[in-house]
Amino acid sequence: MKQVIFNVGGALSTYIEFDGKKLLIDIGKSEDFNPITDFLIPLYKKRNSILTNNKYSLDQLIISHPHNDHMSAISDFNDSFSPQLLTCPNDNIGMPEDEKINWDLVDNNDDTIKLKNMLIGRTPPLCSTDTKNQIIYYIPPKKVEKNNDLSNESYCNNISIVVYIRINGTKIFLPGDIQKLGMEYLINNNTSFRNILGEGVDILIAPHHGLRSSFSVEMFNKIKNNKTRCLNIISEKVTTADSNRQVDSRYSSEEYCEGDNNFSTKTDFVYQKKTTGGHIFINYQNFAKPFLEIIDNKVTLINRFYSE
């Protein structure tokens, strides 16, 4: 039961193994690191994983929304992997009309075309590979499109699929790039989502790379104790003081995280970690006590997954 949040600059990709499942959420890459060619392919080769039609299989690929920084490694993925479930906003035949994406409101580039081609022949509905411990939520795209506030804030970000996962007593929340008004809408219009936030969040992969535009006080108000328990994780590139991509400082405060993690000491609590410091590896072997580690070396990272 392990997870890595990759250091891919101002992008996002995370790989998780739990309950016998292999799950990849988003596949952004950077100039220095590609989660497919630098991690997944070497890991699967090291494990002597079986190839079917020259491709490896994993249980699910979730692409939270079709923005380049969340799927820039899609061609590399499609060349070598075939997911049993491919979950992302789409418009397949048989889906309810409200749940169909309007591709005209999405940047039409090579990655988008590749994703649309991968979706051909796959059937709805959007679902999880583990219905008990992995839950997905989203605002139906047509609801976003028809709501001027949500679409003006960002149509593509606000159709993000958000994921809540329970792994051996630890609760992980991945909200994609959903922005403040989108998060508020989802909270106000989805009772199940409100209730599950009330269970608590131990590890938060901050929405929209931790940027100020997506910090949601409403979200924290609904989380048990109004703060995360272990850590807030930011997938973001190195920024300067005058950058317009400033991470919200509240993620690194005790007001929004308890700092109950192995980075903290009795006198120095750690509330936030950024992937700019390295890949963030998490081992969930101990119940409700995840062990976190910052790893720079990709060989070391692969070995963490290869070994028990």
Q: Residues 150-176: pLDDT tens digits?
A: 999 999 999 999 999 999 999 999 999
Q: Residues 231-252: pLDDT tens digits?
A: 999 998 766 655 667 899 999 9
Q: Pull the structure tokens for residue 288.
A: 């409700």
What average pLDDT does the segment 94-114 reach? Answer: 94
Spatial distance between the Cα atoms of 207 and 176, rounded to a whole number of angstroms? 5
Spatial distance between the Cα atoms of 40 and 50, rounded to a whole number of angstroms? 14
* Model pLDDT, residue 242: 57
Q: Residues 5-50: pLDDT tens digits?
A: 999 999 999 999 999 999 999 999 999 999 999 999 999 999 999 9
Q: Pull the structure tokens for residue 56.
A: 């490896």
Spatial distance between the Cα atoms of 139 and 178, rounded to a whole number of angstroms? 10
* Model pLDDT, residue 125: 78
CB 20 within 8 A of CB 59: no
User: Exposed e or buried b for every residue in 265-300, given b needs 16+ CB within 10 A?
Assistant: eeeeebbbbbbeebbbbbbbeeeebbebbebeebee
Q: Residues 264-288: pLDDT tens digits?
A: 999 999 999 999 999 999 999 999 9
Domains defined along the chain, listed by start? 2-306 (3.60.15.10)
pTM: 0.96
What's the CA angle centered on 156, arms 188 and 195, to 5 degrees? 25
Q: How confident is the model at residue 189 (pLDDT cuts 50, 70, 90)?
A: very high
